[in-house]
Amino acid sequence: MITLGSPPPAILAEIARRPGGFLWWYADLTNEAGDGLVLIWSLGLPFLPGRDPNQPAAERPALSLAVYRRGKPDFYLLQDYGLAAAPAHLGTNPWGDGRLGRTTFVTERSGRTARLLVDLDEAVPGTAERLTGSLTLEGPDCAPPESHVAEAHFWAPRVVHGVGRAVLRLGHERIEMAGGAYFDSNFAGVPLQRQGIAGWLWGRVTFAGRTFVYYRTEAVSGETSTVLLTQTAERGLRVDVVDLRLSESSRTPFGVCSPRRIAWSGPTGDVRLELEIVEDGPFYQRFLVRGETTLGELGRGIAEVVLPGRVGLPWQQPLVRMRTHAVGGRNSVWLPLFSGFRRGRVRRLLGLGAT
């Protein structure tokens, strides 16, 4: 269902041209207080409203940024770029280098270290102010194996046990965050809904000396598989197969049932996670993670639940459009209520321009 690896540039370019294909790059950051940031830049992101299954991935560039503080969403932005609204120069480099509008993405690899440098410059609905800032992260280069299976859904971890720093500015608002960081990418030339995946659980938790990443997929047939990645600052990426223990499942108003506690026993001992939901929807959930090991180590991270079969259903499209900024296009009148910093959203909705 999911192939651990990365395609060469030629296959990546083919994926970008395929109808229904997608390419996304994901980076996150969490601090010791449990605050978090998630940045995704993409071509053909399956979760965008009105995604035409016959549209090539390269024709649908997008960017998403979310910040969570004190256990709540504090900033949100989902930019759906038409090619006429902003040039997109992404898709030929598996590491996501390029430009999307005024935002740039640069990666560097030196020896065993990989770095991501993002310079953000984005319009925010309801205000003339632009979001500016940066995200930088670095850590041991995972060097995912190269795969030439064109039909695969690739998952390519880039930096697992990383450190990062983010600075964001919008008007009088400013956020600074530093802590454990993670960077990966996903590519496929087949629409997500046609891959035979019923759902997946994914999460990363970073402790002082190591980071764990679990990826549990469930097929439509009911078969499940789980891979566990472990990385430290001194050692390369370790890949194990484990059984996750899921407990305290809860069903949200959108009908998604997911666990609030996850645990496993691995080669380096037991790990227990507590998941706090911060984003809920009909096909997607995101959580802030608090982890603890049998050695008493405490860690922080991010987790997600995705249900591909629920993506793109007609009844949910108006809800998704309310949160999606079609840059240079027509948007929902409710968009300012879901975009930008939480503080001041009502004033922006009323056209008062507060940030």
Which one-letter DSSP state was computed for residue 80? E
Average confidence score pLDDT of the chain: 91
Count of the separate structural domains present in the chain = 1
How many whole angstroms separate alpha carbon 183 and alpha carbon 138? 9
* Least reliable range by pLDDT among 86-95, 233-242, 290-299, 328-337: 86-95
Do 268 and 239 contact (CB within 8 A), yes or no?
no
Region 28-48 average pLDDT: 96
CATH of the domain at 329: 2.40.370.10
Position 298: which residue type?
L
Model confidence over 109-146: pLDDT tens digits? Answer: 998 999 999 999 999 998 889 999 999 999 999 988 88
Q: Residue 143 falls within a domain, yes or no?
A: yes
Burial category of 138 from C-beta neighbours within 10 Å (exposed 0-12, middle 13-18, buried 19 and up): buried
The per-residue pLDDT for 87 is: 63
Model confidence over 139-192: pLDDT tens digits? Answer: 999 988 888 776 779 999 999 999 999 999 998 899 999 999 999 999 999 999
The per-residue pLDDT for 233 is: 83
How many whole angstroms separate alpha carbon 352 and alpha carbon 355? 9
Tell how many helices (H) and how many strands (E) occur in the chain.
4, 25
**240 alpha carbon, distance to own chain's centre:** 23
- Judged against a pLDDT cut of 80, whether residue 91 lies above it is answered with no
How many whole angstroms separate alpha carbon 149 and alpha carbon 258? 32
Position 28: which residue type?
D
CB atoms within 10 A of CB 319: 16
Q: Dihedral through CA 335, CA 340, CA 341, CA 347, nearest 10? A: -50
Q: Residue 355 falls within a domain, yes or no?
A: no
CB atoms within 10 A of CB 164: 26
Q: Residue 231 falls within a domain, yes or no?
A: yes
211 or 233, higher pLDDT: 211
Q: What residue numbers bound the domain in which 325 lies?
A: 3-349
Q: Residue 354 falls within a domain, yes or no?
A: no
- Judged against a pLDDT cut of 60, whether residue 85 lies above it is answered with no
